[in-house]
Amino acid sequence: MPTRKPSIAEQGWQLFDRIVERASVAGHTSPWTADEGEVAYRPDFETLRLLLGVPLHLNANSQSGVPALALDVWIAYELRRAGFDPDAVWPRESDPRIMPAALGALLEATPVRGGERALLEERIRISGSKSGLVGGKAKILGKNYQKQVDVVLSDWRTGPEMLISTKRMDSSFGKNAANRVEESYGDAKNLRLRHPLASLGFVFGLRTTIYEKEAAKAAWLIDLLGKLGQEDDAYHAVALVLMEYAQDPPADGDDVNEPETGPEVGSEAALEAGDDPDQLFALDDPGEADAVRAELDAAIAALPPVSIVLDDRVPDELHPARFLRAMVERTLAITPVDHHAEARVRRDTALRAARATAR
């Protein structure tokens, strides 16, 4: 039987995973630094630059989901750098992308010897996606309707603690800009009314060509994003990721996400194209895995260049570093000190270093 060619989404996940794997080969670096007596959050923009190059390399249109996933993967990666439980941050770093942290801990604690872990993995592979226990999308019930949320920090003991939605626009600025932001405002109110303690965030990816094609629309859109983060009943923080690249994206242009509301339409609807239930927990032959990694590394080396613009076109209140710091610090502030221990250690280490240098 001929080997099935991976879908665009599957190829995208392979590249995303390899980029993140290389960035965290020695463990996740801490984003916190102490400079001249001040604590700062330093995002890993180099990893973001590589992730944003993946959809261009694959010529992936918005319907594939890959362009939007680049932002989701980076934000989830940053939350792990901040010290949050890797399994409590969705999408996870491996299949299945959505899986309760408690189940991940159970798997980790299950002995490998005797085949116990393999049996448990097989049970999850067969029945997990059908039962909704694992999947490819995080769907959170708001006050009135269910909403797909792109990046989530959650645990069964606490419920959702961080809910971050992402959108991006690479073209068709005049046609869809208002819709992208207006629908996000309604989504924020829907989620916040049911989860008032959760930290809500919104990240908007925008290509710099908007300044050439729709300068007035750019000013209006960025002003609206700023206001979106100031409303008492909307988002706690909003970020603008301004992208610059030369290669034209596929013709469909802006990010059009799959339907995000309404009831579940069946067990398989919970799986993304990259979450084939037959591939969950699959183990590759070591030699084959090395060859795959070498192929992925070659593709990463040839990714189209993407720049992250951080000049005065990005207002301070929309800077990605400010956004990430605000989301992390708010989440830590509203939880007991025995929660998120590693995240507190990473931040407090930088705080102590800043105080020491300020003396």
Write down the pLDDT at residue 265: 35
- Spatial separation of the C-alpha atoms in residues 195 and 323, rounded to whole Å: 20
Write down the pLDDT at residue 94: 84
Q: Which two tokens stand for residue 342?
A: 């590693």
Angle at CA of residue 245, ends 239 and 165, nearest 5°: 25
For residues 104-122, average pLDDT:
82
> Between 182 and 260, whose confidence is greater?
182
- Under 8 Å CB-to-CB from 106, ≥6 apart: which residues? 120
Calculate the average pLDDT of the chain.
85
> Between 285 and 260, whose confidence is greater?
285
For residues 263-288, average pLDDT:
46
The H-or-E segment that residue 294 falls in is helix 286-301
- Spatial separation of the C-alpha atoms in residues 5 and 301, rounded to whole Å: 22
Question: Three-state DSSP class for 89?
Answer: strand
Write down the pLDDT at residue 253: 47
Instruction: Residue 45: count other Cβ atoms within 10 Å of its Cβ.
Output: 15
Instruction: Check whether 267 has a pLDDT greater than 50.
Output: no
Instruction: Check whether 281 has a pLDDT greater than 70.
Output: no
- pLDDT above 90 covers what percent of the chain? 55
**Can you name the residues that pair with 159 across neighbouring β-strands?**
155
Least confident interval from 37-51, 119-133, 317-331: 119-133
What is the domain partition of the chain in residue ranges?
8-358
Write down the pLDDT at residue 129: 61
143 to 48, 101, 327: CA distances (angstroms): 33, 24, 22
Write down the pLDDT at residue 181: 78
Write down the pLDDT at residue 192: 93
Beta-carbon-side half-sphere exposure of residue 198 (alpha carbons within 13 Å): 29
The shares of helix, strand and coil residues in the chain, as percent rounded to the nearest 5, are 50, 15, 35
Q: Which two tokens stand for residue 297?
A: 């590394």
- pLDDT above 70 covers what percent of the chain? 85
For residues 321-349, average pLDDT:
97
Write down the pLDDT at residue 285: 60
Question: Three-state DSSP class for 133?
Answer: coil
For residues 36-47, average pLDDT:
93
- Spatial separation of the C-alpha atoms in residues 162 and 39, rounded to whole Å: 22
- Spatial separation of the C-alpha atoms in residues 99 and 91, rounded to whole Å: 9
Write down the pLDDT at residue 113: 80
> Between 276 and 119, whose confidence is greater?
119
Q: Which two tokens stand for residue 234?
A: 């909307």
Q: Which two tokens stand for residue 66?
A: 């890959």
pTM: 0.87
Residues 62-103 pLDDT 10s: 888 899 999 999 999 999 999 999 989 999 998 888 888 878
Instruction: Check whether 34 has a pLDDT greater than 70.
Output: yes
Residues 126-182 pLDDT 10s: 666 655 677 778 889 999 999 999 999 998 889 999 999 999 998 877 777 777 777
